[in-house]
């Protein structure tokens, strides 16, 4: 089963801001997020808090996302950068 990737407007806007500083890092983020379409629960994705949100670390970046198996969608909620 292949999932559709849907970026929240705020998440995509934040990623674009990071793109100006680190295009190679953001390319890795977009590649990793695209990979979630075929493997939405990779072993390196960890639960975030007590919610159904998963956190995926990609280099210095963190992506928060939710999986909706009912409509086969992955919603990217928030990209962030670790310090």
The CATH superfamily holding the domain 4-81 is RelE-like (3.30.2310.20)
Q: Give the whole-angstrom CA distance, residue 9 versus residue 59.
A: 23
Digit-by-digit pLDDT tens for the chain (83 residues) are 899 999 999 998 888 888 888 999 989 999 999 999 999 999 999 999 877 899 999 999 999 999 999 988 888 988 888 76
As a dihedral over the C-alpha atoms of residue 57, residue 62, residue 63, residue 64, rounded to 10 degrees, the angle is: 100
Counting Cβ atoms within 10 Å, is residue 41 exposed (0-12), middle (13-18) or buried (19+)?
exposed
Q: What single DSSP character describes residue 48?
A: -
How far are the Cα atoms of 33, 46, 70 from residue 29, in angstroms, in the given order? 6, 16, 25
Domain extents for the chain?
4-81
pTM recorded for the entire structure = 0.87
């Amino acid at each position: 089963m292949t999932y559709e990737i849907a970026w929240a407007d705020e998440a995509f806007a934040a990623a674009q801001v990071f793109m100006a500083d680190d295009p190679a890092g953001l390319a890795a983020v977009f590649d990793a997020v695209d990979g979630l379409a075929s493997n939405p629960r990779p072993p390196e994705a960890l639960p975030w808090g007590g919610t159904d949100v998963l956190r995926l670390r990609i280099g210095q970046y963190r992506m928060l996302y939710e999986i909706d198996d009912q409509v086969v969608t992955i919603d990217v909620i928030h990209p962030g950068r670790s310090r």
